[in-house]
Amino acid sequence: MGASSLLQQFKKASLAIAIAASIAPLPAFASSSTYGFGAITSNSAIDPGIGEAQLFVEVYDTGLGAGQAGFRFYNTGPLASSITDVYFDDGTLLGISSVINMLGVSFTGGSASPPNLPSGNNINFNTSAGFLADSDAPAQPNGVNPGEELRIIFNLINGTTYNDLISALELGLDNPGVDMLGGLRIGIHVQGFADGQSEAFVNGGCVIDCRPDDQGSVPEPGTLALIGVGLMGLAARRKS
């Protein structure tokens, strides 16, 4: 079996694990949609595929009326990788509220190093002032490693709602490479790959709990059998 086929099987398995990770261990959110990531750099031949297979962001309604929305960044693993910086390229809908560090993760909001998404200029990705977060030193151990997660809560401003937020993400997806007025894109800088390289990613299509007009794909039925194995793997990888 070729390397390409193996990578495709790994991506399908990781998506099944992502479904389990996003639903089973957490209280139900009022509404949520989960997005994958697409690499915008290729410093390594294999790291972009690893990141695309196991890194996700769940965008959710906090349930506190129309006032807030959350972004849950998580890494299903199993391969070495760490989300160390998070960037948002639009602030017309959002005002940052808080950064919630889950087990094994330590981030500070409002700044990052580097201050802009690496290679983001190639896709007109402009980080909004203060709408970013950075893992505390040492960056890779405090980032989002396999089995870990980070949550960032935003206030929805100017009377916008959770549905407006999802529509803004769709607008960004429908216009790749363009900083659309009213659109929203999410970028991450990922370090800690086994080969020592780093890569940059931007959110891709919706993969879990998608609205009919969302972009994305659904795993084949056979991959769902891997959910139980995935959950056990996630639990084993969590830091003590």
The distance from CA 142 to its chain's CA centroid, rounded to whole angstroms, is 16
CB 53 within 8 A of CB 80: no
> pLDDT tens digits for 70-121?
999 999 999 999 999 999 998 788 888 899 999 999 999 998 989 999 999 9
H/E/C letters for each residue in 48-102? HHHHHHHEEEEEEECCCCCCEEEEEEEECCCCCCEEEEEEECCCCCEEEEEEEEC
> pLDDT tens digits for 9-24?
444 444 444 444 443 3
CA distance readout (Å), 184 to 28, 80, 172, 199: 24, 28, 5, 20
Instruction: Give me the residue spans of the domains in the chain.
Output: 7-231
Closest among 56, 44, 48 to 219, alpha carbons compared = 56
**Is the whole-model pTM more than 0.75?**
yes
> pLDDT tens digits for 37-73?
999 999 999 999 999 999 999 999 987 665 899 999 9
